[in-house]
Amino acid sequence: MKNFLHLAIALMSVVMPALAVTFNCSGYKIDESVVAREMKKRIRQNDLSQSTLGSHSTTFYKYFDITTSGLTSSSSTGFRCYTNTGTNSPDVREWDGVSWTPCSQE
């Protein structure tokens, strides 16, 4: 039984890191769990801004600015988390000069 427990712990150390989701925004790796915590906090505090996704869009979405570490930012950083776009939540995006485009998930 002791050997089985050691094996289970060893396997968890290999499998668990693979379950972590990160957003890749132009090479910046932003931890999804950090953004999710910030999003829950901002929604609970009703502290969200509204914006379109760019000049091509007429629909307004709720968002908050984030840093490259996934934490809330009080100013524009080029990275945002949108909360009601109908895609995976949190929806992390970066400014490409024209619109807010989704960051890839890894």
Full pLDDT tens readout for the chain, 106 residues: 555 545 555 555 545 555 679 999 999 999 999 999 999 999 999 999 999 999 899 999 999 999 999 999 999 999 999 998 988 679 999 999 999 999 999 9
Q: Two tokens at 61?
A: 């979405």
Architecture label for domain 21-105: Roll (3.10)
- The answer to whether residues 49 and 60 touch, using CB atoms and an 8 Å cutoff, is no
Can you point out the beta strands (E) in 10-102? 22-25, 28-31, 49-51, 61-65, 79-82, 91-95, 100-102
Length of the chain: 106
Separation between Cα atoms, residue 74 and residue 70, nearest integer Å: 13
- Say how far apart CA 41 and CA 27 lie, in whole Å: 26
pTM higher than the cut 0.75: yes
